[in-house]
Amino acid sequence: MYRALASRYPDAHCELDFADPFQLLVATVLSAQTTDVRVNSVTPQLFARYPTPADLAGAEREELEAIIQPTGFFRAKAQSLLKLSAAIVERFDGEVPGRLTDLVTLPGVGRKTANVVLGDAFRVPGITVDTHVGRLVRRFGWTDEEDPVKAEHAVGALFPPRDWTQLSHTLIFHGRRTCHARRPACGACPVARWCPSYGTGETDPELAARLVKDGPPR
């Protein structure tokens, strides 16, 4: 199934724009409950104004909130960004740590966010169980775990670590483009023949093809 999906999405990658680990960490925090496209629309201004953890830690809350407001839940996200930036400055000499055990000690950073940063900024293998990955691995029958951490470990046991990061990107691409939450395009799915959930969505090939998205949701 993974080989078939990788063939469908050979360019699967992190769709958040970033230039360094700090930018990816901030963008990932902002991506909660919104789209990567929306996050990418605000981060250029955000990083121009606050290029380092020290800069962001010293930000005026009202100004920060105004910049990130389009991403939703901006007050809670601003609080997380201020606290995690201060923690990076105070406990890690202003550098984003490259270990899972350290990343998850930062305010507002869980395993999902940490694995995104590790995989794409530090090239440390990790499985990112976001809503798309969690939905797909259960539909595929790879695990029935609802808890993201348990699902991460269950899926990780099926694949060598070298595949974990790219596997996550591939599943996220498939979840955004074909295997939608409400109406999956089963008739246009490259793994339909092996999927125990085939029939959950539209099975007619022509109708299913109309449901397939070419890019990230906007």
Q: Around 9, how many Cα atoms within 13 Å sit in the side-chain half-sphere?
A: 27
Q: Is the Cβ–Cβ distance between 187 and 205 less than 8 Å?
A: yes
Burial of 79 (0-12, 13-18, 19+ CB in 10 A): middle
Active site residue 20: no
Active site residue 83: no
Q: Around 200, how many Cα atoms within 13 Å sit in the side-chain half-sphere?
A: 19
What's the rounded Cα separation, in Å, for the pair 27 and 68?
10
Catalytic residue among 93, 112, 147, 163: 112
Q: Is the Cβ–Cβ distance between 202 and 185 less than 8 Å?
A: yes
The separation between CA 46 and the C-alpha centre of its own chain, rounded to angstroms, equals 19
Catalytically annotated residues: 112, 130
